[in-house]
Amino acid sequence: MSRSKARSWRTLVIAMVAVLTVSMLAACGKKDDNKNKEAANNGSSGKVVATYEGGEITEKEFDLELRIMKTLQPQMAQLLELDDFREFLVKQAITYEYLSGKADDAAKKEGKKTAEDQLKAIKTQMGDEAFKQMLDTQQITEDDLKNYMIRIFTVVTSQTAGVTEEDIKTEFEATKDDYTTASVRHILIGLTDREGNERSKEDALKLAKEVKAKLDKGEDFVKLVKEYSNDGQQNIDNGGLYKDALVTQWVPQFQEKARTLKINEISDPVETDYGYHIMRVESRTEKEYGDLTEEEKDMIKNLIGSNKLDEFMEKDLDKIIKKIDLPKVENNTETDSGAEAPSASEGNAGTEPEGTSKESGSNSGNAGAANSEKTGGNATSTK
């Protein structure tokens, strides 16, 4: 497994800590299936699948880890059938088991309290019946989930314990551009039309130039969005406007223009993998450190902690692992496309421009802003 792939997956799972409640609420209402029941009841054993310094993970324990993962992020089900991703997850499980065992009493106490508070908030928001249904979907108990959360939050607390205000400020200054927001109105001339017919790049560019000419002559932007744009019905209904969005959610070409285009100037066609965009930046805000909320500072603090975890997994984890012996997934054919991680915030795509968002963080609150490897909606995702 490549290091870049491991980093992408590591970021994906760490991001779930920041959006845990949202993720689990999204899981509510998913239907149970025979595969989940078979995995819970018949598919696991006491076989040891990983041994490391001071401990081991059995097949039954790893199966529980997978089912909890499906509870937190149902859209990851396909990834969980990939051998590479399963190997990454067992390494992650080792990391959390090992580091939670090394955490001091203060971190364990705070981690336990955070997990209990989070679990209580989830149950309050969902209601007892919906919460039970969510657990039953993957055949896990409340204690299973609680213990998992305690382990995660204990490690997060431990890794962020020494982070100072100055550390947060330094990290912010190094990633300051990640906090730029903009309101952008755009028209996407896609490589397929609204009827799903393919359109050549040449034809798309020709049409984009025609639309640009109409705008230059003073025709109404919103009217032309409704007439020409291929950016999804929600965006079309909104007149092509994405308001106060994090610029880093968008693919590089769109992002660069959103950062640099003069306010209210109409761009020439901007090419992305999805076609050509005609853009107008209506406002843009660049944050200073003093503008950050306490929540945003906490997000940066957690990012620093996740970077420490990343460093541990890259530099130290192999030294404590003695053996990994995961069974191969049957009928598993891995491809480059199949191995790509979905966004941690996938499922909220309606809030982001189709054909314009890139991978990461999530736009759940400002979690994505605190992470330079952010995830976005599935709109214009970088593939």
DSSP string, 77-143: TTGGG-HHHHHHHHHHHHHHHHHHHHS-HHHHHHHHHHHHHHHHHHHHHH-HHHHHHHHHHTT--HH
Distance, C-alpha 52 to centroid of its chain? 29
Q: Using pLDDT thresholds of 50, 70 and 90, give the confidence band for residue 45.
A: low
- What mean pLDDT is reported for the chain? 80
Q: For residue 350, give the 3-state DSSP assignment.
A: helix
Nearest CA among 331, 285, 350, 324 for reference residue 35: 331
**For the ranges 69-83, 159-173, 196-210, 356-370, which has the lowest average pLDDT?**
356-370
Task: Indicate whether 341 pLDDT > 70.
Answer: no
Q: Using pLDDT thresholds of 50, 70 and 90, give the confidence band for residue 11.
A: very low
Residue range 65-90: mean pLDDT, rounded: 87
Element (H, E) at 190: strand 181-190
Q: Using pLDDT thresholds of 50, 70 and 90, give the confidence band for residue 339.
A: very low
pLDDT at 158: 93
d(CA 262, CA 259): 9
Distance, C-alpha 13 to centroid of its chain? 8
Q: In the chain, where does the domain assigned CATH 3.10.50.40 lie?
A: 181-285+347-383
**For the ranges 103-112, 267-276, 351-360, which has the lowest average pLDDT?**
351-360
Model pTM? 0.63
Lookup result for tokens 């997990």: 115
Q: Using pLDDT thresholds of 50, 70 and 90, give the confidence band for residue 41.
A: very low
User: What number does CATH give the domain 181-285+347-383?
Assistant: 3.10.50.40
Q: For residue 25, give the 3-state DSSP assignment.
A: helix
Q: For residue 1, give the 3-state DSSP assignment.
A: coil
Pair 183, 242: CB distance under 8 Å: yes
Element (H, E) at 45: none
Q: Using pLDDT thresholds of 50, 70 and 90, give the confidence band for residue 4.
A: very low
pLDDT at 332: 53
pLDDT at 302: 87
Residue range 209-222: mean pLDDT, rounded: 97
Q: Please, is 239 exposed, middle or buried when counting C-beta atoms within 10 Å of its C-beta (0-12, 13-18, 19+)?
A: middle
Task: Indicate whether 68 pLDDT > 80.
Answer: yes
Lookup result for tokens 């969902």: 126
B/e letters for 258-297, b = 16+ CB within 10 Å, e = fewer, are: bbebeeeebbebbebebbbbbbbbeebeebebeebeeebb
Q: Using pLDDT thresholds of 50, 70 and 90, give the confidence band for residue 78.
A: confident
pLDDT at 296: 87
d(CA 254, CA 25): 31
Nearest CA among 24, 282, 265 for reference residue 132: 24
B/e letters for 73-104, b = 16+ CB within 10 Å, e = fewer, are: bbbbeebbbbebbbebbbbbbbbbbbbbeebe
DSSP string, 216-268: HTT--HHHHHHHH--S-HHHHHTTTEEEEEEGGGB-HHHHHHHHHSPTTPBPP
d(CA 254, CA 12): 23
Pairing assessment for the beta strands 55-58 and 48-52 based on DSSP bridges: antiparallel
Task: Indicate whether 144 pLDDT > 90.
Answer: yes
Q: Please, is 170 exposed, middle or buried when counting C-beta atoms within 10 Å of its C-beta (0-12, 13-18, 19+)?
A: middle
Q: Using pLDDT thresholds of 50, 70 and 90, give the confidence band for residue 196.
A: confident
Strand arrangement of the beta sheet that strand 270-272 belongs to? 241-246, 181-190, 275-285, 270-272
Task: Indicate whether 65 pLDDT > 50.
Answer: yes
Q: Using pLDDT thresholds of 50, 70 and 90, give the confidence band for residue 126.
A: confident
CA separation (Å) from 259 to 29, 70, 168, 263, 284? 40, 37, 24, 10, 8
**For the ranges 55-69, 107-121, 233-247, 335-349, which has the lowest average pLDDT?**
335-349
Q: Using pLDDT thresholds of 50, 70 and 90, give the confidence band for residue 166.
A: very high
**For the ranges 36-45, 134-143, 285-294, which has the lowest average pLDDT?**
36-45
Pair 281, 265: CB distance under 8 Å: yes
